[in-house]
Amino acid sequence: MTGTDRTAKVATGKAKATELTDVTHRPGRWLALSVLVLAVLLVAVDATVLGLATPFLSEDLKPSGTQLLWIGDIYSFVIAGLLVSMGSLGDRIGRKKLLLTGAVAFGAVSVINAYATSPEMMIVARALLGVAGATLMPATLALIRNIFHDPRERSVAIGIWGAAASAGAAVGPVVGGFLLEHFWWGSVFLINLPVMAVLVIVGVRLLPESKNPAPGPWDLTSVVLSLVGIVGIVYAVKEAAAYGLRWDIAAAAVIGGVALTGFVRRQLRIRHPLLDMRLFRNRGFSGAVLADLLTIFGLSGLVFFLSQYLQLVQGRGPLEAGLAELPAAVGAVTAGLLAGRAARRFSVRLVVAGGLAGVGLATAALVALTEHTGYPMLGAVLLVVGVGAGFSFTVTADVILSSVPKEQAGAASAVSETAYELGAALGIALLGSIVTGVYRGFPTPRDVPAGAADAAHESLGGAVEAAGTVPAHQAAELVAAAREAFVEGLSIAAGAGAAVLLAASVAAWFLLRGQKLADHTETPAAPSGPPVPALTSERPPL
């Protein structure tokens, strides 16, 4: 090699290093992240405002107890069934395209939710919202995976992403509470519209497009098998928990099990699967997914019923109830921003298992919950839950994204989100059924009319409404009995949830042994779309 050749080689190496630094350290990636944060806020706000609106929705639409549970969890059922399919679709057609299309659909369906006129219409509207929501969350995480190539920066970005979800959980109840005190319950869904509008308008310009350069066809048979399998299994669990085993429930379980078995076998056989099942051979990936599922399972029943407890048991207004839940969000935001640094300084398994143990112990304290429990205890419990969940969810998301190639980021993100939504659906179904089952067993005060008694046993909101149709002395006894039964059911459900969370902590300690977060910057992939001027004058940071 001549001196000229060596000089040229060194110059080429310096140019490549400069290009890598330019691509991975341009400020435009943080502007792109701000758009993804809006998408997360959109979904988080919608999930939290429903809990606050439940008492008002119950009074207006008069759903049965079963319909009320369906309104609460049909969104999770549908989104869980479609997440893997939509994540894989984003890998194929482009994550930016899927995200923006889903945002428009999410806003449009929010209007249908706002103006629902019957429990049946509300259930259908929530299901449609699940279809739209399934396009959003996997796309946001997958885009983060493809925009941030420096692992430490990606940890910060994931922390901000998680913090945005927690902030949405905080903003949702406060804004929702304000709206519920001044407008009708449907207004809480309309707050999605301005967020969606900003997301689409800004996202068109700021977000870079990314997709798998050689994805293969989108297998519709796998899509159907995934949807039927997950929805069938979750439906069977929900109904069996509420009503016991019947032939139709058993049939749903069998159909769901067969469909999921067929889905897994098909993914192992076809050339271009929706989900590469080999990902689960990675112990860190599998451990993180399992931790997410068990964590949200243990928490979901508590979260779903907490707003009803604060309003219908303790008599707080919607805005006050929303403000009362703020410590959880504050803790989660703070922990999420520190999680990546903590996991590198100590260890992944210590941060995740320790966070889950904290959440489990805090939830266990709610076993002692009474109608007159003071806010200092509730606030402290919510703060610890937020901190523990913030550490756990942020680090597991980082582990999941770091365990897969960039080309499969959408599918991997979808697995993470599926675990979250499946855990939420099962938690609401099983833990919610504990609350409902205990609640329905409360004794009706003497001489209360049958119609009022039936309405009171459907839900706590129904009991409060029924109390207005009976004499004052009967009303007081009816509401007192209903509140006592509701709190008893909630405390039992909290105990069951705490057991699940502590089991998740133990599982994470063993499954995440030796797991580390990446420290070395990746070489960016070639761009799959045209240049994005807002990010760079040369090419998008993919």
Structural tokens at position 534: 């807002």
pTM of structure: 0.72
**Rg over CA atoms, the chain:** 24
Q: Is the pLDDT of residue 206 over 90?
A: no
Whether the Cβ atoms of residue 76 and residue 235 lie closer than 8 Å to each other: no
Alpha-carbon distance 507 to 287, whole Å? 8
Question: pLDDT of 71-120, one tens digit each?
Answer: 877 877 787 778 778 877 877 788 788 888 888 888 888 898 888 888 88
Share above pLDDT 70 across residues of the chain, in percent, rounded to a whole number: 83
Does residue 231 or residue 470 have the better pLDDT? Answer: 231
Q: Any idea what DSSP says for residue 534? A: T
Q: Which amino acid is present at 515? A: Q
Does residue 139 or residue 346 have the better pLDDT? Answer: 346
Whether the Cβ atoms of residue 490 and residue 367 lie closer than 8 Å to each other: no
Does residue 274 or residue 230 have the better pLDDT? Answer: 230
How large is the average pLDDT for residues 386-402? 84
Question: pLDDT of 136-177, one tens digit each?
Answer: 877 777 778 777 777 777 778 877 777 777 667 666 667 777
Alpha-carbon distance 202 to 171, whole Å? 21
Question: Which domains can be identified in the chain, with CATH numbers?
Answer: 27-218+274-511 (1.20.1250.20)
Q: Is the pLDDT of residue 395 over 80?
A: yes
Confidence label for 408 from pLDDT (cuts 50, 70 and 90): low
Alpha-carbon distance 114 to 485, whole Å? 31
Question: pLDDT of 270-290, one tens digit each?
Answer: 887 877 787 788 788 888 888
Residue 521's pLDDT is 56
Structural tokens at position 82: 């479609």
Q: Please state, rounded to an integer, the average pLDDT across all residues of the chain.
A: 77
Q: Which amino acid is present at 424? A: A
